[in-house]
Amino acid sequence: MKTVKGGANLGKKDKVKVIPLGGVGEIGKNMTVIEYKNEIIVIDCGLMFPGEEMLGVDIVIPDITYLLKHKEKVKAIVLTHGHEDHIGALPYVLKQLNVPVYGTRLTLGIVETKLKEHNLLDKADLRVVKPGDTITFNELKVEFIRNSHSIADSCAIAIHTPVGTIVHTGDFKIDYTPIDGEVMDFARFAELGKEGVLLMLADSTNVERPGYTMSEKTVGETFDKIFSEAKHRIIVATFASNVHRIQQVIDAAAKYHRKIAVCGRSIENITEVAVELGYLKIP
């Protein structure tokens, strides 16, 4: 990606600030602040689970002191996807900073369940977007771009500023055969590269490891083999938010006339939301 011409403005008074409040060099509490003049856009609002040394601590959330000092500048929180490390701090942050929250249908569906538990849903301003949408503020434009991840409805975020474009990939993995058929929007990333990108912030866990991650379709083939051969009960452990993985279990169970029981508070909540919104299809 080439440097945008607007980058020459960085030496002048007009500057864009990128302030990570969490999620850099750690797994969890993802929150990044993009600030230009009198506008702040916050990308993600996640929590982190405590380490063994943090006795008595249930969760860790980002320090939002900077945002509270400049709360009149904060225009919105935009969400890349519905994992806890990207949305889990919302119930705590929105109590102090009640601004519009933008996200895709599944992401906000999961957020709604979380806010209900905290009796905050009626006060929250949740705004549904879809990949390809652009939200215009005063001098900033926020664009949502289709992404691939281990949860459906994931997006990358491009923030267009007068200084240049900042691309935040969100969590991603390259999968040419995703379960829902929604392939990452490589064409839009290529267009942004041609237009010029001031900064790209990329997040892909274990990207340093050589090789590549297998497609989710491969996992489905494995499920099919297991379900066809197993004579007794099958127990599948998975992340509650991995709707595509759950769908593959459902498909295999239906094919071999098996009944399914979902066990666990988080997976029960997410399954209910995913079925209601049409992301999970149960025969």
Supply angle C-alpha 57, 60, 66, rounded to 5. Answer: 135
pLDDT tens, residue by residue, 81-125: 999 999 999 999 999 999 999 999 999 999 999 999 999 999 999
pLDDT at 25: 82
pLDDT at 8: 45
**Nearest residue to 281 via CA among 254, 262, 261:** 254
Distance, in Å, from the CA atom of 60 to the CA atom of 29, rounded to the nearest integer, reads 7
3-state helix, strand, coil in the chain (%, to 5): 30, 20, 50
With 80 as the cut, is the pLDDT of residue 11 above it?
Answer: no
**Buried (b) or exposed (e) across 32-42, using 16+ Cβ within 10 A?**
bbbbbbebbbb
pLDDT tens, residue by residue, 196-206: 999 999 988 77
Model confidence at 208, in pLDDT bands (50, 70, 90)? Answer: confident
pLDDT at 1: 43
pLDDT tens, residue by residue, 209-249: 888 888 888 888 899 999 999 999 999 998 888 899 999 99
With 60 as the cut, is the pLDDT of residue 59 above it?
Answer: yes
The mean pLDDT value of the chain amounts to 90
- More confident: 86 or 7: 86
With 50 as the cut, is the pLDDT of residue 2 above it?
Answer: no
**CATH 3.60.15.10 domain span(s) along the chain:** 16-201
Residue type, 194: K
Distance, in Å, from the CA atom of 131 to the CA atom of 157, rounded to the nearest integer, reads 10
pLDDT at 6: 46
Mean pLDDT of 74-81: 97
pLDDT tens, residue by residue, 240-261: 888 999 999 999 999 999 999 9
Mean pLDDT of 185-201: 95
pLDDT at 13: 60
pLDDT at 3: 43
pLDDT at 254: 94
Model confidence at 12, in pLDDT bands (50, 70, 90)? Answer: low
With 50 as the cut, is the pLDDT of residue 190 above it?
Answer: yes
pLDDT at 5: 47
**Nearest residue to 173 via CA among 143, 209, 207:** 207
| Domain 16-201, CATH homologous superfamily name and number | Ribonuclease Z/Hydroxyacylglutathione hydrolase-like (3.60.15.10)
Model confidence at 9, in pLDDT bands (50, 70, 90)? Answer: very low
Distance, in Å, from the CA atom of 21 to the CA atom of 76, rounded to the nearest integer, reads 15
Mean pLDDT of 188-195: 96
